[in-house]
Chain A
Amino acid sequence: MALESIRADHVPRQEATIERIERQTARVKSYFLRPQNWRAFRAGQHLDVILTAPDGYEAQRSYSVASEPELEGLYELVVERLEGGEVSAFFHDVAEAGDAIGIRGPFGGHFVWSGQDGGPLLLLGGGSGVAPLMSILRHRAAIGSEIPTILLYSARTWDDVIFREELLARDAAGGNFTLLLNLSRDTARRPQDASRRIDAQMLADTLARFGAAPRLTFVCGSNAFVGNVTDRLLDLGLNPQTIRTERFGG
């Protein structure tokens, strides 16, 4: 511990208790973790989860924090059940409130946003890729920012929209925030929403809602989602240096 304390920038492992679990969709649950030593973080960062088997084997995965830095003491992780997923299966089939798991972090210094980064701010999420964008949106609201912000969020169906009620409420509250939903395998429920693959026209229409090019664009989702969206944004003339991406991997 003495060595750890002198390495000020070294982030140690610790235990966190699962305080509560909330079902989001049929395949997605939120896990609220209360660590022994909560570390302040930046909206958009990820937390490493470390699970240890009786034989000493460790499995590690990174999950974006969906809660805002202002929710002190807790980290909310959004976990989608993946076929054959060693860690997501543990979360969905085994984990209960009161269980302790290992964590490290939060980490990451690029896919992050704070008020002084400014806007307009364009957020593009696919599926559970909405998690770090949710942290950014919640942080923006917590600091009272009215920076023009659009979230274009693509999910398979209306019932697969993670944080649906909260997002609709934030949309209704105004404050220069606009939610646009794209349901790739469902019919749109609202006139401003769409139900197809995100294409150049949809992105052009989204950009047209801003008076100027977004100062920053954050794109998070599967590799196919991020690749398609960022290629179209480059076609539309966005400066690649203003686009930050996070892709699900491994």
Chain B
Amino acid sequence: MVTRGFTRKSAAADKPDRIPPGQHLVGDFPVLTAGPTPRVSLGDWSFTLKAGPRPVKRWTWAEFHALPQTQTIRDIHCVTKWSKLDTPWSGVLIDDLLAEAGLEPPTAYALAHSYDGYSTNVPVADLVGGKAMVATHYEGQPLARDHGGPARLLVPHLYFWKSAKWINALQFTERDEAGFWELRGYHIYGDPWREQRYTGD
């Protein structure tokens, strides 16, 4: 149904192959959170790989920065309808974390956990093969608190709620366990190109 009197004004027209359905382009970097922005000092920061309840490997901030660092430039898509193109990140690929830990993914699913109690589920196939990283820098600068600093997950091919801010652990799970938003009406997988915004899409 065409909406009477509505016409396109958005710049998305210039890049139709890069803007998923229902999204529009933004130049700024909106901030969305479910609660207050946590305060995480670098001295207290750590990141843990877990197989079920069992911690497999833990890195401090200094140890994390001794790992191979990767830069990537990616388009990101937020379920609240904005997309942002060519965002430059750096951090540690999940592949490199697994290699460093000497760990083959023990299950097909994972949950990312954050300092504020947030969690989100991502299939392991979407985390490996260079598809995802734990990002510590944006545009060459340490990642700002508002955007998930000190470190956030970056899974840019899924809606951005999957890229958990303030990440502190990645846990392999036997089943695909719904995370925070997935339990609150949002899609279990979240592919922007299939417009999987809400439960059952």
Contacts and interface: CB of A to CB of B under 8 A. Distances in A.
B89 interface: no
Interface stretch (B76-84, B99-107, B134-142): B76-84
A72 interface: no
A11 interface: yes
A174 interface: no
A240 B35 contact: yes
B41 interface: no
B81 A250 contact: yes
A56 B117 CA distance: 41
A99 B6 CA distance: 11
Contact of A90 (B2, B3, B13, B146): B3
A244 B8 contact: no
A231 B39 CA distance: 9
A10 B199 contact: yes
Interface string A233-250: 110000011011101111
Interface in A38-75: 50-55, 57-62
B1 A100 contact: yes
A109 B33 contact: no
A10 B197 CA distance: 11
Contacts of A108: 184-185
A177 B38 CA distance: 30
A227 interface: yes
Interface in B165-193: 180-181, 183-185
Interface stretch (B22-30, B44-52, B58-66): B22-30
B36 interface: yes
Interface string A69-111: 0000000000000001010011000110001111010011111
Chain A interface helix/strand/loop/mixed: mixed
Contacts of B200: 7, 9-11
B185 A230 contact: no
A52 B6 contact: yes
Given A233-B36, A243-B35, A86 B199 contact: no
B184 A250 contact: no
Contact of A53 (B3, B34, B181, B184): B3
B36 A54 contact: no
B5 interface: yes
A215 to B, nearest CB: 15
12 contacts: A53-B2, A57-B8, A84-B9, A89-B9, A101-B3, A109-B184, A110-B184, A223-B146, A230-B37, A231-B37, A245-B36, A249-B30
| Interface pairs A-B: 7 shortest CB-CB | A250-B82, A109-B184, A10-B200, A249-B30, A230-B36, A94-B5, A60-B22
Interface of A: 7, 9-11, 15, 50-55, 57-62, 84, 86, 89-90, 94-95, 99-102, 104, 107-111, 223, 226-227, 230-231, 233-234, 240-241, 243-245, 247-250
